[in-house]
Structure 1
């Protein structure tokens, strides 16, 4: 089993509890990000006809560590359900090996984001190591899509002041999560579906991985049930709008 997959065995609760333990920056919630927007930004969102998550019950679907072999099937499902998601892509053995899938993710309106090069815990690296992990993936994605990501997710959600500083330098906001299925630990699609539905809430950020066998088959049922509950699916930037994701800042519901 690849090393980065082994590292997903940390529980979501523990990961989030420790995520900003070495970071002096408090996380910003989606509602706080929206509240920080200027009047002009609010008017711009309204004029553009964008989703106002202050008024609509929004939730963001995110996928880490792909693209994988099942990502094209996932994209087919998202297209059928008319849902846009945020993909935190892994550079080594993923982005560089599946450029057509990366290109398709961007072309179909999903948010392309950075999940480092090799999935090394960033809080275990010095500033140069952090920079290498993030900048290599930035460049690989930019070479394929023509744009550098503005969002990143640190492996295991672990961040600290050095991660924050380098992220700010590279123009990357840090995005954590509020719901996870621990899909690294099971191939049971129904269990994955249940775990997400049990944790879903307004302004939530769902963490899944499109590299595990049970995950992609669970997604249509998750979408259908959450739509039945009145949720609107948005990308992470849309969840924060009209606020902006500020480089270096940590965002968590």
Structure 2
């Protein structure tokens, strides 16, 4: 499911095409996102971030977070090989249905290799179209499935299309989930051209940025090695989302999105 090979289902691709409306959606629902700088400033001088000690100080180092949505999938093991070889941590926002439940060994490996395991709902329904009980079901089922595999409940979630509102924020708070959006997207759901995916990421890369990619599309994983190499050449340090916010912590219910400026 969700592959770009002939015959794959188009439902998630169609939904993802609206991701560019992220800014308007947040404005319309009155949600005020926090930036990584906000999270760090609010933390004061504490030297802890996320669930462990800081590896780097992103107030001093040019950090960037690599994130992958809607997996795991067939290409995720190869992606993990690349990340391991290049010693790059990432954050994986996992889908429950036909992904977490289909590839439990891959989920286990993601966690074991030090990546951040996060929640991308159970079936990729647009949360702002749902009532409170349906939002809770979409998130809690994935929480339970990931905990069963890894022994740990995620603390981060990404709403499909980045669409959130007060109800989504309230349920996320109840479930201990902060909402993480993005500032850099290759729109890899719309192309299999790895060179174009690379170009789009590199053209928009910025300090404290969060890159959105998907490890379920054919053009994406082949683009990752050269993206990593070039961003390292430019002086970026790759971090997980919790590390990007450190010494702050992602607060449940809050929405985090970097500024592009």
TM-score scaled to structure 1, two decimals?
0.95
Q: How do residues 1-253 of structure 1 correspond to structure 2 at under 5 angstroms?
A: 1-10=9-18, 12-14=19-21, 16-39=22-45, 41-42=46-47, 44=48, 48=53, 50-253=55-258
Higher helix share: 1
Q: What is the root-mean-square deviation of aligned Cα atoms in Å?
A: 1.3
* Partner Cα distance (2:158, 2:58) in 1: 22
**Structure 2 vs 1, CA of residues 49 and 154 (structure 1 numbering), >3 Å: closer, same or farther?**
closer
* Partner Cα distance (2:249, 2:235) in 1: 25
* Partner Cα distance (2:248, 2:167) in 1: 25
Q: How many residues in Structure 1 have an aligned counterpart in Structure 2? A: 248
Write out per-residue CA displacement over residues 1-38 of structure 1, whole angstroms, 9 at most, x where no aligned residue: 1422321122x432x22332343331000011000003
TM-score scaled to structure 2, two decimals?
0.92
Given that 2:13 and 2:190 are in contact with CA atoms closer than 8 Å, whether structure 1 keeps it comes out as no
Q: Which runs of 4+ in 1 moved over 6 A?
A: none
* Partner Cα distance (1:84, 1:63) in 2: 11
Given that 2:119 and 2:143 are in contact with CA atoms closer than 8 Å, whether structure 1 keeps it comes out as yes
Write out per-residue CA displacement over residues 205-240 of structure 1, whole angstroms, 9 at most, x where no aligned residue: 000000000000000000000000000000000000
The runs of 5 or more residues in structure 1 that have no matched partner are none
* Partner Cα distance (2:139, 2:53) in 1: 32
Write out per-residue CA displacement over residues 39-74 of structure 1, whole angstroms, 9 at most, x where no aligned residue: 2x13x46x9462100000000000000001000000
**Structure 2 vs 1, CA of residues 141 and 49 (structure 1 numbering), >3 Å: closer, same or farther?**
closer
* Partner Cα distance (2:54, 2:248) in 1: 15
